Amino acid sequence: MAAPLPSFLSRFFYRPDEAGAGALSWLDSSPVEIPRRSQIPDSQLEVLAVQLSDERYAVPVDRVREIVKVPPLTWVPRVQPGLLGVMNLRGEVLPVYDVAPRLGLRDAPVGLEGAAALPRSARVVLVRDEAGAAGILVDAVHGVVRLPAQGLEPAPAGAYERGAIAALGRIDDELYIVLDLGAVLP
């Protein structure tokens, strides 16, 4: 009676000798053109569009490492403001920051207890900088957009935490605030 189970399970394992010569022929029939970084015009800045509160922010794509759902965070005592905690991503311990208070969007970080009340669309954007990798808590991720470089403007003089804003960009009626990660992250 135990014999049918192994034979049933064996159907789910890949065996290279079973793959026919034409099994992957569809790959050659319709090549997909993926633009390389060198093919993107210098007149465009490629950014990841994210939502923080009611505003759209942008993170340069070359600084983004990964986007993950908000994992369970571990509280760390006596840390700088804005650090929500640390997360374990495939064995790597990474700090996760709430940058909304730094940008004047909230009075205080959400905290670990507030992390449970985040919207389902909330994500942690893992970014790279000189100090290593860190996570930024965002309310939603909207995707990659290309901002025209000639349309980028400096942050206005009266802007809250002006040093945290690298530039302002616009596509149609949508305003994107490009973050300076070096200034936003402690």
**DSSP output for 12-59:** TS--GGGS-TTTTTHHHHS------GGGS-TTEEEEEEEEETTEEEEE
pLDDT value, residue 76: 87
Is residue 30 situated within a structural domain?
no
Is residue 172 situated within a structural domain?
yes
Q: What is the C-alpha separation between 2 and 179, in angstroms, rounded?
A: 60
Is residue 83 situated within a structural domain?
yes
Instruction: Report residue 104 as tokens.
Output: 């004047």
Average pLDDT, the chain: 79
Strands of 140-148's sheet, edge to edge?
140-148, 44-52, 55-60, 174-179, 165-171
Domain interval for residue 111 = 44-184
CATH number of domain containing 96: 2.40.50.180
Is residue 94 situated within a structural domain?
yes
Is residue 37 situated within a structural domain?
no
Is residue 175 situated within a structural domain?
yes
3-state secondary structure 85-140: EEEEECCEEEEEECCCCCCCCCCCCCHHHHHCCCCCCCEEEEEEECCEEEEEEECE
SS3 state of residue 78: coil
Is residue 151 situated within a structural domain?
yes
Q: What is the C-alpha separation between 1 and 33, in angstroms, rounded?
A: 52
Is residue 13 situated within a structural domain?
no
pTM of the model: 0.71
2-56 tens-digit pLDDT: 556 666 666 666 555 554 545 554 445 455 555 555 555 568 899 999 999 889 9
pLDDT value, residue 64: 95
Length of the chain: 186
Q: What is the C-alpha separation between 127 and 103, in angstroms, rounded?
A: 17
pLDDT value, residue 151: 84
Overall number of domains in the chain = 1
